[in-house]
């Protein structure tokens, strides 16, 4: 986990098809951006928000990704 600009967010790198990211931002109102770790292209994925501190990113195939999470409210 690494903090991102302005506070209220971070990014994490993950490998697989189901990526569980614990962001601890205390809200489900977060923006999630998913990037390919190799070339930083956008990865289209399903994003679930099971609770106020976790997002789950599901990719169609195994992938090494960077997940950026930013608190909205």
The tokens for 31 are 């923006």
SS3 60: strand
CA distance 4 to 44: 21
pTM score of the predicted model: 0.84
pLDDT tens digits for 1-46?
555 555 667 777 888 999 999 998 999 999 999 999 999 999 999 9
The pLDDT of 51-71, averaged and rounded, is 93
């Amino acid at each position: 986990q690494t903090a991102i600009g302005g506070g209220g967010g971070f990014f994490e790198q993950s490998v697989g098809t189901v990526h569980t990211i614990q962001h601890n931002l205390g809200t489900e109102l977060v923006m999630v951006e998913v990037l390919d770790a190799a070339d930083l292209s956008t990865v289209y994925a399903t994003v679930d928000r099971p609770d106020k501190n976790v997002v789950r990113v599901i990719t169609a195939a195994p992938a090494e990704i960077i997940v950026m999470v930013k608190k909205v409210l």
